[in-house]
Amino acid sequence: MSKVIITAAISGAEVTKEQNPNVPYTVAEIAREAKRAADAGAAVIHLHVRRDDGTPTQDKERFKENIAAIREVAPDLIILPSTGGAIGMSADERLQPTELLPEIATLDCGTCNFGNDDIFDNTVSMIKEFGRRMSERGIKPEYECFEQGMVDLALSLARKGLLPAEHMHFNMVLGVIGTMAPTARNLSFMVDSLPEDATWCATGIGRNQFPIAAMALAMGGNVRVGFEDNLYMEKGVLAKSNGELVDKVVKIARLLGREPATPDEAREMLHLKK
């Protein structure tokens, strides 16, 4: 069976306990959800952190505390901090987790509408600066792309030496209101433009989480699931944990002849150094 890297986006910055009481806020809750996701088959934890009241933060010390707690319960996991943060945060604020020198971190590749009233601000100058700091710190970017223009921009900047270009890894995020629709045509279009040595995963938002995951699995790609993107197992049924969401995508993967990669297998696939 071919291997698939499963990423669990366990908390996000926007979802709340009012929407699903199992969304983690505290350090203990984050560690619990990371362990459940790992036990179910996730190799990567995409990490946002919160204050205990649920307020999103990019504070370096809060990230450090959460990462240490995850390492206590699942020491081999790849931890992929967000540099997207939350809407309205400054670039310097968002970059704080990179000071902890993670193996890999997200790098958002363009400005876009983000829901009804929000704009997710990622200017070309910001993207270059994020790439520069990650390069200096030996951090592999995960290029987050919400539409085709972001893929094109990342590739253009990489060709010019302004973003890390070796073994690029992309996350195609489909279904955010104001960006590309979550269709097989759109996913295929984005993936077909990538370099041959690139790796990629796909993220579907809301009810599109599992259809997009199934498409990615059938195409030989990797997948992301988790509370950040979707709170439900199926229509009207809230997920009890990130582990449940991971377990469901593992079952889909095995039906399609794919097997979850271990963290160390994922490191090899992503060209990471632990």
What pLDDT is stored for residue 104 in this prediction? 98
pLDDT at residue 157 is higher than 70 = yes
User: Which CATH number is 89's domain given?
Assistant: 3.20.20.70
Residue 69 three-state SS: helix
pLDDT tens-digit readout, 218-268: 999 999 999 999 999 999 999 999 999 999 999 999 999 999 999 999 999
pLDDT at residue 274 is higher than 70 = no
pLDDT tens-digit readout, 92-124: 999 999 999 999 999 999 999 987 788 999 999
Could you give the CA distance from residue 219 to residue 221 in angstroms, rounded to a whole number? Answer: 6
Q: Please give the share of the chain, as a percent, with pLDDT higher than 90.
A: 96
Count of domains observed in the chain = 1
Closest among 235, 122, 230, 239 to 176, alpha carbons compared: 230
pLDDT at residue 32 is higher than 90 = yes
What pLDDT is stored for residue 85 in this prediction? 94
Both tokens assigned to 149 = 């223009």
Residue 273's pLDDT band, with cuts at 50, 70 and 90, is: confident
* Domain boundaries, position 210: 2-270
Q: Is the pTM of this model over 0.85?
A: yes
What pLDDT is stored for residue 114 in this prediction? 86
pLDDT tens-digit readout, 50-63: 999 999 999 999 99
What pLDDT is stored for residue 1 in this prediction? 65
Look-up of token digits 């505390």: 65
pLDDT at residue 271 is higher than 70 = yes
Closest among 90, 89, 68, 93 to 79, alpha carbons compared: 68
